[in-house]
């Protein structure tokens, strides 16, 4: 398929793949993973987690940035122990550009392919993994 016939969605997905690589580079090169297992996001100028500050328990997103920063540095075991959802999100960020480039190499329009995997089942599965990771974090906090 020639570039002139590719959909707008194709170019958006391809741009998203580039942003995924950029995000991993930022996480791996510029952020120092917090030894506490959460709070790394504050290095981006974001405020601390209010749930952690007020109640001493992690919110569902606590540790995601820290785990992704560990994964971007190649420390997958540490990333999984820190926050499983964050580790899997970083892995998805790393695989997304590979998937996109493979599609381009095969001449596929990525805008037409994305809806095949971006559906209620994959979003539901991601939600369940996020919930499981939060429960894991709550249990790990009590040990």
> Which letter does DSSP use for residue 1 in this model?
-
- Asked whether residue 26 carries a pLDDT value surpassing 70, the answer given is yes
Rounded Cα distance between 70 and 54, Å, is 26
Kindly report the pTM of this predicted structure.
Answer: 0.84
Q: Output the pLDDT for position 2.
A: 52
pLDDT mean over 70-83: 94
Q: What are the pLDDT digits (tens) for 128-140?
A: 999 999 999 999 8
Give the chain's length: 143
Q: Is pLDDT at 143 greater than 80 in this prediction?
A: no
């Amino acid at each position: 398929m020639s570039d002139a016939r590719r959909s707008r969605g194709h170019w958006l997905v391809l741009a998203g793949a580039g942003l995924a690589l950029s995000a991993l580079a930022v996480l791996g090169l510029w952020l120092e993973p917090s030894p506490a297992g959460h709070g790394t996001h504050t290095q981006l100028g974001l405020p601390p987690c209010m749930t952690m500050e007020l109640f001493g328990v992690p919110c569902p997103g606590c540790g995601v940035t820290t785990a992704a920063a560990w994964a971007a540095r190649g420390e997958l075991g540490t990333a999984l122990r820190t926050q499983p959802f964050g580790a899997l999100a970083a892995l998805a960020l790393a695989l997304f550009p590979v998937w996109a480039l493979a599609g381009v190499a095969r001449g596929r329009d990525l805008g037409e392919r994305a809806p095949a995997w971006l559906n209620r089942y994959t979003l539901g599965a991601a939600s369940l993994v996020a919930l499981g990771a939060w429960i894991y974090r709550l249990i790990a906090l009590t040990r």
